Copies of this chain bind each other. A is one copy, B any other.
Amino acid sequence: MTAGIQPPQATTLEQPALETAREAIADGIEREAMITVFGRCTVDYDGRASSRLEAGDRHVMLKPDGAALVHTNEGQQPVNWQPPGCEHAVRCEDDALVIESLRSTPDERLLVSFQQVLQVSTFAGSDPNEIALVGTEEDLRERILEEPALLESGFTPLATERDTPAGAVDIYGEDSTGRSVVVELKRRRVGPDAVSQLRRYVDALSRDLHADAAVRGILVAPSVTDRADRLLAQHDLEFVSLEPTDG
């Protein structure tokens, strides 16, 4: 039986003893609930890098998919975390409640040691819907494929994700004179990196086709920075201003 088909429920312990908190957390892991713990803790991480965070009051969330998040009262990003797929464990030792989250490939370990727990909660519910997002690079691609003239009059798309030795080109096509065109799409204002990316594709495709006429490269984005603009000119690449959505 999965948590998803249960009626939504939330349980809370306030200022529990560490052992009481441990039991609630262990039970929540067992039941595959979302678990939150707030209290005074230290945090240690070791893996791709290493970090240590001395004692402070923080909010820890454990998800049933194995993700772990440690949030302070500032910032959008967690101060420490573990991605989905980790194994969570909880134990009491030396007057501390220790939450350990382990991962392999790469080996990574997150240790949160609570000296004091102010609250433990567990949450179970259902969430059947996926998010619908508009305004992505995918939308920009569809916009151009539906109306290629937005790029330029006479443009004919021939392939998306066309493979080259340097990677997959967003849109590959021909202009009105039959010249090959590589199109790189970005949903927002771009800098030099996007120009370099386009240049790589144009270079690779030129070698691949050993075409008589040079391959054209067109960057499509709402706008470009000055430096990107200079790079475009330097390498005879072109720019078309276009946004992901009409509105």
Contact = CB atoms under 8 A, between A and B. Distances in A.
Interface of A: 3, 8-10, 12, 14-15, 34, 36, 38-40, 43, 48-59, 61, 63-65, 67, 69, 71-76, 79-84, 116, 118-119, 121, 123, 125-136, 165-167, 187-188, 192-193, 196-197, 199-200, 227, 230-231, 244
Output the residue of A15, A43, A132, A187 with the most chain B CB within 10 A. Answer: A132
In the A-B complex, the 6 residue pairs with the closest CB atoms:
A57-B125, A49-B135, A56-B127, A196-B196, A54-B129, A10-B118
A129 B55 CA distance: 7
A48 B188 contact: yes
Given A73-B65, A84-B74, A121-B121, A230 B196 contact: no
B165 A129 contact: no
A200 to B, nearest CB: 6
9 contacts: A12-B119, A36-B36, A50-B135, A56-B127, A57-B126, A63-B71, A69-B76, A75-B84, A76-B84
Contacts of A230: 165
Contacts of A121: 12, 38, 119, 121
A54 to B, nearest CB: 4
Contacts of A73: 3, 34, 63-65, 123, 125, 127
A57 B7 CA distance: 10
Given A10-B38, A40-B8, A50-B133, A192 B188 contact: no
Contacts of A125: 38, 40, 56-58, 73, 118
Given A8-B57, A123-B38, A76 B83 contact: yes
B193 A134 contact: no
Given A193-B193, A196-B196, A63 B74 contact: yes
Contacts of A8: 39-40, 57, 116, 118
